[in-house]
């Protein structure tokens, strides 16, 4: 059965292998290691990163393909980044098995846990909760919106890290300073407290183990630009099986493994900087240098379930995505500008009133501290 191809990655680098019927071993064309094809793939395989990083870039998208449905014979079009979808006529799952499309096949997936009806309800509540949204939005969006269930590719990384750093710890003190003020037309000296930070050198080492660091690997979905869900329950990842794809679309990665790893390194550095600040302690921290050693880096490719919603409002297209596990909604919100203007004027009015009251009581002029 051709489905097996999706389950036969190289045991060293994770590349999808094409094996000959009857052969018992196969050399990986990417890393050269010999694979025993009788060994079944482990549950949610994770692979060593370094042998997998070399080789040609995979950022070019495959062309649109035509495949015919094995059940009803109808012809279906696979958009460039799509590798699985349902037949328009009989709903059979169509999977494009061409291993030349991409070097790595998904190893794991989180099945959809939020059904379309629940996702629609979340979306409706989200639209209602928007402060500055036009009042007619919830109604009109509900009428037109169509949800599309998509399995989106994500790189999933594990790594150990150790980081040496140099920086400074700042301790803040409150000091009293003499300030000249005008009061009732007369100048007089009063005490004012001021914050002063003293900096001392700090250096040290922090260590962190990263597990299941996710990098969105699609690259081609407008809906997901600048969007991140707050969490994914990666502990529930299941080994990939084509059955899960029934009724949904599944996509190939457009961001290749080296690009995904670069994004992961940036994300890890952000977390490590937080660890360093915590390690430095004090009231404020400065980081001058940091040097991170990574080892035991592993990766796998997974598919995560996302509901996509595109709607038009006031002649513009808006994109909203809903986490297919948690129901979290992320998206663009149309704004009713008159509501924003009224709110801004209200705030400005309050600030102006506060300034008038403060200004009336005293005129302030700062002098050098004594
Ligand atoms: Zn290999
Ligand atoms: Zn069909």
Secondary structure of residue 361 in the 3-state scheme: helix
Secondary structure of residue 359 in the 3-state scheme: helix
Q: Is the pLDDT of residue 34 over 60?
A: yes
pLDDT 10s digits, 235-259: 999 999 888 998 899 999 999 999 9
Number of residues in the chain: 370
Q: Is the pLDDT of residue 140 over 80?
A: no
Which secondary-structure segment (H or E) carries 83?
strand 82-86
Secondary structure of residue 273 in the 3-state scheme: helix
Task: Give residues whose Cβ lies within 5 Å of ion ligand 2.
Answer: 69, 71-72, 74, 87, 89-90, 92
Q: How far apart are CA 234 and CA 251, in angstroms?
A: 19
- Which residue's entry shows tokens 């005293």? 362
Q: Name the average pLDDT for the chain.
A: 85
Q: How far apart are CA 97 and CA 94, in angstroms?
A: 9
Ranked by mean pLDDT, the top range of 120-129, 215-224, 225-234, 282-291 is 282-291
Q: 17 alpha carbon to ligand 1 midpoint, in Å? A: 8
Q: How far apart are CA 242 and CA 234, in angstroms?
A: 19
Higher-scoring residue by pLDDT: 106, 43: 106
Please report the pLDDT score of residue 177 as a whole number: 87
Higher-scoring residue by pLDDT: 229, 139: 229
Q: Is the pLDDT of residue 138 over 50?
A: yes
- Using pLDDT thresholds of 50, 70 and 90, give the confidence band for residue 52: very high
Higher-scoring residue by pLDDT: 20, 354: 354
Q: 113 alpha carbon to ligand 2 midpoint, in Å? A: 26
Q: Which of 58-72, 250-264, 299-313, 333-347 has the lowest mean pLDDT?
A: 333-347
Q: 245 alpha carbon to ligand 2 midpoint, in Å? A: 15
| CA proximity to 84, closest of 323, 246, 223, 308 | 246
Proportion of the chain above pLDDT 70, given as a percent: 84
Ligand at shortest distance from the CA of 26? 1
Rg (CA), the chain: 29
Q: How far apart are CA 268 and CA 213, in angstroms?
A: 8
Q: What is the mean pLDDT of residues 113-131?
A: 86
- Using pLDDT thresholds of 50, 70 and 90, give the confidence band for residue 308: very high
Ranked by mean pLDDT, the top range of 2-11, 38-47, 296-305, 344-353 is 296-305
Q: Are the beta carbons of 44 and 237 closer than 8 angstroms? A: yes
Q: 88 alpha carbon to ligand 2 midpoint, in Å? A: 7
- Phi first, then psi: what are they for 269, rounded to 5°? -60, -40
Please report the pLDDT score of residue 6 as a whole number: 46
Q: 84 alpha carbon to ligand 2 midpoint, in Å? A: 13
Please report the pLDDT score of residue 94 as a whole number: 93
Ligand at shortest distance from the CA of 91? 2
- Using pLDDT thresholds of 50, 70 and 90, give the confidence band for residue 367: very low
Q: Which of 55-59, 102-106, 239-243, 358-362 has the lowest mean pLDDT?
A: 358-362
- Using pLDDT thresholds of 50, 70 and 90, give the confidence band for residue 143: very low
Ligand at shortest distance from the CA of 93? 2
Ligand at shortest distance from the CA of 67? 2
Q: Is the pLDDT of residue 368 over 80?
A: no
Q: How far apart are CA 152 and CA 113, in angstroms?
A: 15
Please report the pLDDT score of residue 363 as a whole number: 42
Q: 143 alpha carbon to ligand 1 midpoint, in Å? A: 50
Q: 245 alpha carbon to ligand 1 midpoint, in Å? A: 27
Q: Is the pLDDT of residue 35 over 50?
A: yes
How many CA atoms lie less than 13 Å away from 100 in the CB half-sphere?
A: 3
| CA proximity to 3, closest of 350, 239, 203 | 239
Please report the pLDDT score of residue 61 as a whole number: 87
Q: 255 alpha carbon to ligand 1 midpoint, in Å? A: 20
Q: 199 alpha carbon to ligand 1 midpoint, in Å? A: 51
Please report the pLDDT score of residue 203 as a whole number: 97
Please report the pLDDT score of residue 235 as a whole number: 93
Ranked by mean pLDDT, the top range of 37-41, 100-104, 336-340 is 100-104
CA terminus-to-terminus distance, the chain? 87
């Amino acid at each position: 059965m051709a489905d097996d191809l999706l389950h036969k990655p190289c045991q060293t680098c994770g590349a999808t292998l094409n094996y000959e019927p009857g052969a018992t071993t196969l050399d990986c064309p990417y890393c050269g290691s010999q694979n025993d094809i009788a060994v079944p793939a482990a549950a949610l395989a994770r692979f060593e990163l370094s042998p997998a990083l070399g080789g040609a870039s995979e950022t070019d998208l495959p062309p649109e393909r035509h495949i015919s449905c094995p059940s009803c014979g109808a012809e279906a079009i696979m958009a460039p980044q799509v590798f699985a979808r349902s037949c328009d006529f009989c709903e059979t799952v169509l999977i494009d098995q061409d291993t030349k499309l991409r070097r790595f096949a998904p190893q794991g997936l989180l099945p959809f846990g939020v059904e379309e009806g629940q996702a629609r309800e979340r979306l409706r509540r989200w639209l209602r909760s928007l402060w500055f949204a036009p009042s007619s939005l919830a109604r009109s969006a509900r009428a037109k919106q169509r949800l599309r269930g998509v399995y989106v590719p994500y790189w999933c990384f594990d790594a150990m890290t150790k980081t040496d750093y140099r920086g400074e710890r700042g301790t803040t003190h409150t000091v009293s300073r003499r300030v000249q003020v005008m009061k009732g037309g007369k100048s007089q000296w009063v005490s004012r407290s001021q914050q002063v930070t003293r900096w001392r050198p700090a250096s040290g080492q922090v260590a962190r183990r990263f597990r299941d660091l996710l990098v969105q690997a699609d690259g081609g979905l407008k809906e997901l630009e600048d969007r991140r869900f707050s969490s994914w329950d990666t502990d529930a990842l299941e080994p990939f099986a084509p059955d899960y794809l029934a009724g949904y679309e599944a996509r190939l990665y457009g961001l290749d493994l080296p690009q995904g790893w670069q994004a992961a390194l940036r994300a890890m550095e952000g977390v490590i900087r937080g660890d360093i600040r915590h390690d430095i302690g004090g009231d404020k921290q400065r980081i001058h240098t940091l040097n991170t050693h990574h080892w035991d880096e592993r990766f796998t490719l997974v598919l995560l379930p996302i509901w996509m919603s595109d709607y038009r409002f006031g002649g513009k297209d808006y994109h909203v995505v809903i986490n297919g596990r948690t129901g979290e909604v992320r998206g663009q919100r149309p704004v009713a500008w008159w509501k924003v203007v009224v709110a801004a004027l209200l705030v400005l009015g309050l600030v102006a009133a506060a300034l008038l009251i403060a200004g009336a009581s005293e005129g302030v002029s700062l002098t050098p501290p004594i």
